[in-house]
Amino acid sequence: MTQEKFDTILILDFGSQVTQLIARRIRARNVHAEIVPFHTPIERMADPAIKGIIFSGGPASVYAKGSPQVNPEVFDLGKPILGICYGLQLLAHNLGGKVERGERREYGKAELHVRNKEEGISLRPELRPRGNKNNLFYKTPPKQIVWMSHGDAVRKIPRGFKVAATSAHSPYASIADRARKIYGVQFHPEVWHTEYGTQILENFAKNICKARAQWTAKHFVSEAVQEIRAQVGKRHVVHALSGGVDSTVLALLLKKALPAKQVKNIFIDNGVLRLHEAKEVMVNLKKLGLTVQHVDASKEFLKPLEGVVEPETKRKIIGRKFIEILMGNVHAKDMLSQGTLYPDVIESVSVRGPSDTIKTHHNRAPEVLELIKEGRVVEPLKEFFKDEVRVIGKELGMPDELIWRHPFPGPGLAIGILGDVTEERLRILREADAIFIEEIRNAGLYNKVTEAFAALDTSRAVGVKGDEREYGYMILLRAITTTDFMTADWYPFEPEFLGRVANRIVNEVRGVTRVLYDITQKPPGTIRYM
């Protein structure tokens, strides 16, 4: 969304998978941030509403043929600039420095040493708020943990720059030309592993760029309503409503923006939902005053899944059938509305810069992409993260039990079965998943866990029931905490809790002999198994 009347930090995307986290961190401090392609015209960057510019990270090498480059005129605009990782290397490459392949790839946590002489930071932590507000590391300690992810390295810094911070393997972990207000960091302040990353980005946006804190959920709702009205006009909108937080928030935005006769909410039951989910969703949506058409297409989805094991094939089958049913309701001039969030988009197609595809999402099927080209898709949430959408939902009056509802993927339980999908396996998984979620609720942990679910490993494991050996399925339990779903950690349940859940599943769910708890972070793992 383009909000020219707000002070804005413009982020040039060079292909990093975590570019949107930069915008999210800045918006969390109520400063508007917008992501645009790296080749955005210089006239856009020169707009008076743009108070500062950030170069994102990216997978390329700045010296490689065909790598994404910045328009050198950006350095003549007189606006503050911050380069992150690849962005730092772009600064050095364009301003007379030198970038080469590093002797070793630096990935993961590193200890950053801030140069207090250059940055005005007291070596005594209790005095750190007395540092210079115009420094990138204001209100941060001399030693701090940051997250590195780079193979190339700056070997020579440009004239006029000074070293602002170092790490064990990055002598130029941060550089600054404070006279021109141009800064660079080799690490990623946008990821949560960088402990003072939000403060660093806030320092840049508010102190160095002087951007005013004008951006709130209330502002977003007002602007989104206006944009929806302008985009839709008198046309009808078909809204894919799953009952999850994202699509429900968008349904409420549509309700606020358009007359009821213009909006057709459709809930499609694909046969791989959780226990009693379809009924619960319809009840919850009715409480919100939403009129919803319930389409039970479970048999149409399950038949094509018979014998299919490969996860991407499952996603494509379910996504294809979903799109067929959904598009059957979208007539020639109708608009399509989806509660698409940024992680969905960045994992399925390159949004702004040259990023890689991770997995397929039905909201980026060919038919949807064609409608996007025609300007017929309403997706006001596509540059936001789950936590931001929850704040918007609260602004729209959604009750907490819906705002904090755990996410559930479009392919549903089909990608929770590590093998081919059968009615019997769906029964087992539904029952095990319901027990896990019930125990989490009973323990008062549901809102502390961001997402929790059970998966079924179709490999058979031996167990003993009633003094007899029995081969049964293994249930994998996963519960994570995250704010942005780009990175995540496992939730540290007490052993007694896990023992209780495992005991119930093995004893109450016929066909299960083993229960395991997954403690893999993202990355390197993903949140779901398939």
323, 368 in Cβ contact below 8 A? yes
**Beta strand pairing status for 489-490 and 468-481?**
antiparallel
H or E stretch including 506? helix 495-508
Burial class (CB in 10 A: 0-12, 13-18, 19+), 490: middle
- Phi/psi of residue 104, nearest 5 degrees: -150, 145
Q: Is the peptide bond before 411 cis (omega within 30 degrees of 0)?
A: no
The phi and psi torsions of 304 (rounded to 5 degrees) equal -70, -15
- SS3 of 260, please? helix
* Annotated catalytic residue within 32, 93, 150, 188: 188
List the one residue out of 450, 481, 416 whose CA is nearest residue 274: 416
Q: Among all chains, which residue has been given the structure tokens 């990138």?
A: 136
Is 347 noted as a catalytic residue in this protein?
no
Write down the catalytic residue from 34, 85, 383, 431: 85
Nearest to 167, CA basis, from 149, 191, 192, 190: 149
Among 124, 115, 110, 130, CA closest to 197:
110
Question: Whole-angstrom Cα distance, residue 355 to residue 26?
Answer: 21
DSSP 9-72: EEEEE-S-TTHHHHHHHHHTTT-EEEEEETT--HHHHT-TTEEEEEE---SS-TTSTT-----G
- Per the CB < 8 A criterion, the answer to whether 173 and 186 are in contact is yes
3-class state of residue 459 by DSSP: strand
Q: Is 93 a catalytic residue?
A: no
Q: Please tell me whether residue 298 adopts helix, strand or coil conformation.
A: helix
Structure-token match 């102190």, residue found: 207
DSSP 124: S
Query: What does the alpha-carbon distance between residue 412 and residue 244 come to, in Å, rounded to a whole number?
Result: 12
Structure tokens at 142: 């001399």
Beta carbons of 92 and 99 less than 8 angstroms apart: yes
Angle between helices 217-232 and 386-395 (to 10 degrees): 90
Q: Name the amino acid, one letter, at 482.
A: T
Q: Which amino acid is at 307?
A: G
Is 209 catalytic? The answer is: no
Residues 310 and 26: their CA atoms lie apart, in Å, by 39
Tell me if 293 sits within 8 A of 267, measured CB to CB.
yes
Give the DSSP H or E segment for 176. Answer: strand 174-177
**C-alpha–C-alpha distance, residues 235 and 264, integer Å:** 11
In this structure, which amino acid lies at residue 417? I
Please identify which of the residues 34, 106, 119, 190 carries the catalytic annotation. Answer: 190
Cα separation values, 138 from 106, 121, 371, 499, Å? 25, 7, 46, 46
Residues designated as active site: 85, 188, 190
